[in-house]
């Protein structure tokens, strides 16, 4: 047994607390798999239908963004961090921008803080709806999937109306947001929120009454909160275990000190409680968006952006839809960051998810594994290889083939 | 003789059923799309009617990838054999009269044999292909079959008991005035549930659950073998719907007597098609509104709920008949 | 956050500004300090572990989060001796964060089962060049070594 296998075995022991490794019954789950929208590999070891071990191998979407950020100035960096994730792109730029702002003594206009809240909450609605639809897909309930994704379009339309883009919003900037809200935006937001709130009620009814959804999610993925909390999970995964922890109330940013979120928790710590919890959060987000849009103050949305950022270390975090998103920035006074460290919620949750799978069957894998709402693109970013700028991998198909064959011969 | 061969292969036999199979797939996709607020197939033919045909021919011309550790003979020649199973079964269904093309006096038993053989062929294909997803899928498929076989036989027994005969023609002819579905509604419901299991549709699409085991036992297939398998699955759909029509809904028979032979044929065909498509439509709707369950849940559902229910139905029939 | 409790830890450089508490410690004491923070101060959540190449030394920062404060343990390792004790038995959640620092900066964590493996880098990453976030190596060099060998 090689060192690598030993290490994997130990990882599985720590992460799942399970006993044996047997090469029999190994089922590959990824890197390319219909249940995963992004490339990630989970070795699943089965005994019959029962899962004995889950061994994650991450890194398939690794693009070297942390290294690339060191070669970009502060403004360029905002647009690069946004591209880490397509779903929570605003959370990434917001976390980065807030971390940088905490190094300076800049005052953020009150209107800009309200606008940040509105976009962050719209993004949360869209992300939770997306996840909820995918739960339908993973449990084989395609109708629910299609319905929810259609409703999600309403939120995306609103985001497009405000920021100009559906996915990569390019909206947050140091000292504020880039553009003011369009005029009469509440005329678009209010009916859309009304519609969504009705739909969320309807979906709540479905997931609490539809028999097949209930038996697929209730009690599935149960994990002892005392064990799980030591693995440092974040976000809804932590809140469904009964821990009332939310960055929006623990460390208020944007306008969360004035419009206070109602942090919901559950004590069931299973996939069904995650469903209910996320639906509750959508309802709360709808309330906050409506509240913010009626009480938004007038004024500037940004002040002048400094070229250089003072020397120092800064940590910042926001509550992304998936949980706490952490940024560390070190500045040495120049126009570029010296080091940017990003810790995404998925990386924090993955150990807990493997723990949740313990003792369940293969049929539960997609539901549980994706119950934490994984975003592997987020998780994998980090250092090296591709810093863009036209310097591409100079490799053609024939070379790639030769390289693949050589690698295979060497390593099989 | 030529007439018999024509009936077997062209109308109302194989070719006719293949076209109904394509129509079924179109209806399934279109219904699912409408329920899910999409548009579904749109461009090939009127309203996308020819999309399943186009898909089939596209698959035929695709490259076949044969896995190294597969049983090549079964891998290549198994799918046509698998296709022949519901194709033969369809020849027993009475469409243009009280008798099917191949009908004889104990053909109901043969139908049961065919439904078992279909699962056997599927597991043979999965094992021939090798691969881990296939292996898991076959385990689930066989477990599911052992669970639904008893309710299936019991639910089919109810119309046989009502008609006092084990041939499809007898069952059909006994329903001229009143359909068996009114006397054996529980059996009809059980038959529909079992059909979903036989067809691997939600909530019983456990052997081919795509988010767990990719495509189940079909994962390794491509090109022509896959085209055969897909067509067979659609044909199974038609076969089970027409069987439900025959056993419970009175088959093609009309309560009125029509003298003209040609008109009678047309009317019988129409009645049969309307009933079969209605049953198919019912299955589409049920399937669209449910999520997939797990294999142990499916087993307990089929054993604990449907089996006693079918027994109850048989008891009621014996007591009140 | 109680300052008194922190003061129980002697001979540490503690610096507090806004909601950041920086505790500087030597690499040898990292287990003691983190155990103190977890067990005595009741901090539950390890947010992240950052590794930074500072030229001659590599700085490792353990970010803990508790009740509105970031508690950061800062420790610096000489590049000639990149070895530190793992805290995975005190905080099991540190497993992947330590593995990430190991992968990107080549710091060896004693007691972490993932040492010697790649967490994020591809399996084909050459073993004889420094890890990618180190200043000794540029992305161009890595690209040249990985593809045009």
Task: Tell me if the bond preceding B30 is cis, omega within 30° of 0.
Answer: no
Query: Do B76 and B225 touch, CB atoms closer than 8 A?
Result: yes
Contact B288 A143 (CB under 8 A): yes
- Cα of A7 to nearest chain C Cα, Å: 5
- Cα of A153 to nearest chain C Cα, Å: 33
Rg of chain C (C-alpha set): 17
Q: Which chains touch A (3 or more CB pairs under 8 A)?
A: B, C
Q: Which chains touch B (3 or more CB pairs under 8 A)?
A: A
Q: Which chains touch C (3 or more CB pairs under 8 A)?
A: A
- Is some CB atom of chain B closer than 8 A to the CB atom of A27? yes
- Is some CB atom of chain B closer than 8 A to the CB atom of A363? yes
Contact A67 C132 (CB under 8 A): yes
Q: Which token pair is B42?
A: 């749109």
Q: A345: alpha, beta or left, given left = phi > 0 and alpha = psi -120 to 50?
A: alpha
pLDDT 10s digit of each residue in chain A, 412 long?
456 556 555 544 443 332 232 345 566 666 677 666 666 777 777 666 677 777 777 777 777 888 888 888 888 888 888 888 878 888 889 999 888 888 888 888 888 889 989 999 999 999 889 888 888 887 778 888 888 888 888 889 888 888 888 888 888 888 888 888 888 888 888 899 999 999 899 988 888 888 878 877 887 777 788 888 888 888 888 888 888 888 888 888 888 888 888 888 888 778 888 888 889 999 999 999 998 888 888 888 888 877 778 888 888 888 888 888 889 988 888 888 888 888 888 888 888 887 787 777 777 777 777 776 666 655 554 333 332 333 334 444 555 566 566 666 665 5
Q: What is the pLDDT of residue A412?
A: 52
- Is some CB atom of chain B closer than 8 A to the CB atom of A30? no
Q: Which token pair is B48?
A: 């996308």
Q: Which of A26, A215, A362 sits opposite B212 (nearest CB)?
A: A362
- Is some CB atom of chain B closer than 8 A to the CB atom of A26? yes
Q: What is the pLDDT of residue A391?
A: 32
* Share in percent of chain A as helix, strand, coil (round to 5): 50, 10, 40
**Bigger pLDDT: B24 or C142?**
B24
- Cα of A21 to nearest chain C Cα, Å: 15
Domains and CATH numbers, chain C: 3-116 (3.30.460.80)
Q: Which of A58, A317, A339 sits opposite C120 (nearest CB)?
A: A58
Mean pLDDT of chain A: 78
Residues whose CB falls within 8 Å of the CB of residue B263, separated by 6 or more in sequence, listed in order:
none
Q: What is the pLDDT of residue A408?
A: 62
Window 82-121 of A: residues touching C by CB (8 A cutoff) are 102
Query: Do B258 and B267 touch, CB atoms closer than 8 A?
Result: yes
CA distance B40 to B52: 12
Domains and CATH numbers, chain A: 3-61+378-404 (no CATH), 65-372 (1.10.645.10)
CA distance A207 to A214: 7
Q: Which of A232, A317, A387 sits opposite C93 (nearest CB)?
A: A232
DSSP letters for A210-241: -HHHHHHHTTTT---HHHHHTT---THHHHTT
Q: Which token pair is B3?
A: 């007439």
Q: What is the pLDDT of residue A48?
A: 64
Query: Do A277 and A217 touch, CB atoms closer than 8 A?
Result: no
- Is some CB atom of chain C closer than 8 A to the CB atom of A400? no
Q: Identify the residue among A138, A139, A275, A359 best suited for mutation to test binding to B, counting B beta carbons within 10 A and taking the highest.
A: A139
CA distance A396 to A399: 5
How far lies B137's CA from each of B64, B122, C6, C116, in Å?
21, 10, 58, 37
- Is some CB atom of chain B closer than 8 A to the CB atom of A365? yes
β C20-25/C13-17 pair status: antiparallel
Closest CA to A154 of A193, A115, A201: A193
Residue written as token pair 């920035």: A329
ipTM above 0.90, yes or no: no
Helix (H, G, I), strand (E, B) or coil at B228: helix
CA distance B223 to B227: 6
Query: Do B203 and B143 touch, CB atoms closer than 8 A?
Result: no
Mean pLDDT by 10 residues, chain B (321 residues): 73 82 89 86 85 89 82 86 87 79 82 86 85 78 85 88 84 82 87 88 81 80 87 89 87 76 82 88 85 79 86 86 70
Q: Which residue of A has its CA nearest to C46?
A: A232
- Is some CB atom of chain B closer than 8 A to the CB atom of A206? no
Q: Which residue of B has its CA nearest to A134?
A: B211
CA distance B245 to B248: 6
DSSP A29: E
**Bigger pLDDT: B195 or C114?**
B195
Q: pLDDT tens, A228-248?
A: 888 888 888 888 888 888 888
Residue C148 has pLDDT above 70, yes or no: no
Mean pLDDT of C63-83: 85
Residue ranges of the alpha helices (H) in chain C?
A: 3-8, 30-35, 94-105, 139-147
DSSP A361: B
- Cα of C10 to nearest chain A Cα, Å: 24
CA distance C107 to C121: 15
Contact A361 B132 (CB under 8 A): no
Contact A139 B291 (CB under 8 A): yes
Q: What is the pLDDT of residue A369?
A: 73
- Is some CB atom of chain C closer than 8 A to the CB atom of A347? yes
Please calculate the CA angle A361-A364-A365 and round it to the nearest 5 degrees. Answer: 95
Q: Which residue of C has its CA nearest to A408?
A: C124
Chains C and A touch (3+ CB pairs under 8 A): yes
Contact A140 B202 (CB under 8 A): yes
Contacts of A102 in chain C (CB under 8 A): 18
Q: Identify the residue among A341, A381, A400, A411 best suited for mutation to test binding to C, counting C beta carbons within 10 A and taking the highest.
A: A341
**Bigger pLDDT: C70 or A389?**
C70
Query: Do C85 and C30 touch, CB atoms closer than 8 A?
Result: yes
CA distance A291 to A256: 12
- Cα of A16 to nearest chain B Cα, Å: 20
- Cα of B171 to nearest chain A Cα, Å: 35
Q: Which token pair is B150?
A: 């008893």
Contacts of A235 in chain C (CB under 8 A): none
Contact A14 C113 (CB under 8 A): yes
Contact C91 A67 (CB under 8 A): no
- Cα of A87 to nearest chain C Cα, Å: 21
Contact A363 B212 (CB under 8 A): yes
β A323-331/C45-53 pair status: unpaired
Question: In DSSP terms, which residues pair with C53 in a beta bridge?
Answer: C58
CA distance A287 to B115: 55
CA distance A364 to A353: 12
Residues whose CB falls within 8 Å of the CB of residue A29, separated by 6 or more in sequence, listed in order:
A35, A36, A41, A42, A43, A44, A365, A369
Helix (H, G, I), strand (E, B) or coil at B298: helix
Residues whose CB falls within 8 Å of the CB of residue A67, separated by 6 or more in sequence, listed in order:
A382, A383, A384, A387, C132, C133, C139
Query: Do A342 and A326 touch, CB atoms closer than 8 A?
Result: yes
Q: What is the pLDDT of residue C131?
A: 85
The full set of domain ranges for chain B reads 62-320
Query: Do B310 and A232 touch, CB atoms closer than 8 A?
Result: no
Residues whose CB falls within 8 Å of the CB of residue B104, separated by 6 or more in sequence, listed in order:
B167
- Is some CB atom of chain C closer than 8 A to the CB atom of A66? yes
CA distance A289 to B199: 46
Chains C and B touch (3+ CB pairs under 8 A): no
Contact B294 A138 (CB under 8 A): no
């Amino acid at each position: 047994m090689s060192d690598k296998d030993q290490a994997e075995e130990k990882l599985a022991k720590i992460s799942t607390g399970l006993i044996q490794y047997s090469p029999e019954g190994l089922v590959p789950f990824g890197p390319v798999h219909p249940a995963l929208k992004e490339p990630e590999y989970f070795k699943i070891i089965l005994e019959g239908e029962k899962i004995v071990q889950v061994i994650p191998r991450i890194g398939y979407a690794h693009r070297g963004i942390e290294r690339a950020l060191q070669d970009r100035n502060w403004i360029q960096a905002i647009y690069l961090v946004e591209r880490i994730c397509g779903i929570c792109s605003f959370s990434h730029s917001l976390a980065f921008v807030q971390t940088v702002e905490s190094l300076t003594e800049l005052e953020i206009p009150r209107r800009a803080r309200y606008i940040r809240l509105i976009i962050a909450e719209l993004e949360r609605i869209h992300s939770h709806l997306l996840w909820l639809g995918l739960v339908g897909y993973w449990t084989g309930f395609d109708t629910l999937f299609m319905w929810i994704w259609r409703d999600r379009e309403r939120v995306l339309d609103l985001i497009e109306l405000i920021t100009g883009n559906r996915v990569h919003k390019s909206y947050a900037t140091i000292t504020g947001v880039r553009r003011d809200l369009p005029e009469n935006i509440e005329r678009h937001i209010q009916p859309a929120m009304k519609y969504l709130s009705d739909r969320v009620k309807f979906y709540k009814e479905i997931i609490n009454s539809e028999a097949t959804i209930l038996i697929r999610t209730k009690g599935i993925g149960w994990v002892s909160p005392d064990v799980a909390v030591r693995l440092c999970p974040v976000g809804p995964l932590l809140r469904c275990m009964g821990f009332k922890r939310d960055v929006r109330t623990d460390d208020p940013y944007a306008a969360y000190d004035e419009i206070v979120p109602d942090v919901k928790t559950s004590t069931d710590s299973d996939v069904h409680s995650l469903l209910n919890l996320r639906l509750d959060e959508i309802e709360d987000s709808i309330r906050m968006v409506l509240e913010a849009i009626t009480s938004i103050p007038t004024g500037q949305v940004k002040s002048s952006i400094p070229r250089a950022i003072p020397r120092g270390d800064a940590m910042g975090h926001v509550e992304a839809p998936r949980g706490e998103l952490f940024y560390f920035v070190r500045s040495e006074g120049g126009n570029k960051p010296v080091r940017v460290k990003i810790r995404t919620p998925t990386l924090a949750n993955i150990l807990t998810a493997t723990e949740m799978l313990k003792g369940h069957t293969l049929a539960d894998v997609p539901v549980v594994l994706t119950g934490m709402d994984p975003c592997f693109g987020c998780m994998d970013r980090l250092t090296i290889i591709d810093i863009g700028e036209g310097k591409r991998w100079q490799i053609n198909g024939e070379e790639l083939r030769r390289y693949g064959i050589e690698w295979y011969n060497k390593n099989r | 003789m030529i007439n018999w061969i024509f009936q077997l292969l062209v109308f109302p036999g194989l070719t006719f059923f293949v076209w109904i199979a394509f129509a079924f797939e179109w209806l399934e996709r279109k219904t699912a799309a409408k329920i899910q607020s999409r548009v579904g197939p749109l461009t090939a033919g009127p309203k996308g009617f020819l999309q399943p045909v186009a898909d089939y021919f596209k698959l035929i011309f695709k490259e076949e990838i044969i896995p190294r550790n597969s049983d090549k003979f079964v891998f290549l020649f198994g799918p046509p054999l698998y296709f022949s199973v519901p194709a033969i079964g369809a020849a027993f269904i009475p469409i243009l009269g009280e008798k099917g093309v191949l009908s004889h006096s104990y053909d109901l038993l043969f139908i049961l044999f065919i439904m078992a053989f279909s699962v056997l062929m599927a597991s043979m294909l999965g094992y021939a292909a090798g691969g881990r997803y296939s292996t898991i899928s076959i385990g689930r498929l066989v477990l599911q079959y052992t669970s639904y076989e008893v309710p299936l036989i019991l639910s089919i027994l109810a119309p046989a008991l009502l008609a006092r005969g084990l041939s499809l023609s007898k069952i059909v002819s006994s329903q001229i005035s009143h359909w068996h579905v009114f006397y054996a509604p529980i059996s009809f419901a059980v038959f529909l549930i079992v059909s979903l299991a036989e067809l691997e549709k939600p909530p019983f699409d456990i052997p081919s659950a795509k988010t767990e085991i990719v495509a189940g036992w079909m994962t390794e297939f491509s090109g022509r073998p896959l085209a055969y398998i897909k067509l067979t699955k659609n044909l199974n759909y038609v076969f089970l719907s027409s069987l439900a029509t025959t056993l419970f809904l009175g088959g093609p028979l009309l309560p009125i007597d029509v003298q003209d032979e040609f008109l009678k044929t047309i009317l019988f065909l129409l009645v049969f098609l309307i009933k079969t498509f209605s049953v198919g439509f019912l299955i589409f709707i049920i399937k669209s509104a449910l999520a997939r369950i797990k294999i142990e849940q499916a087993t307990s559902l089929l054993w604990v709920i449907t089996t006693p229910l079918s027994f109850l139905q048989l008891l009621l029939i014996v007591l009140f008949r | 956050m109680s300052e008194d409790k922190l003061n129980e830890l002697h001979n540490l450089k503690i610096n507090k500004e806004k909601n950041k508490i920086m505790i500087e410690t030597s690499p040898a004491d990292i287990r003691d300090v983190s155990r103190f923070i977890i067990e005595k101060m009741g901090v539950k959540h390890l947010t992240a572990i950052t590794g930074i190449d500072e030229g001659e030394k590599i700085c490792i920062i353990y970010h803990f989060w508790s009740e509105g404060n970031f508690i950061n343990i800062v420790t610096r390792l000489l590049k000639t001796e990149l070895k530190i004790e793992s805290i995975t038995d005190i905080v099991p959640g540190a497993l992947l964060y330590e593995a990430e620092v190991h992968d990107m900066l080549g710091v060896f964590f004693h007691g972490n089962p993932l040492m010697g493996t790649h967490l994020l880098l591809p399996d084909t990453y050459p073993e004889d060049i420094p890890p990618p976030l180190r200043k000794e190596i540029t992305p161009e060099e890595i690209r040249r070594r990985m593809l045009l060998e």
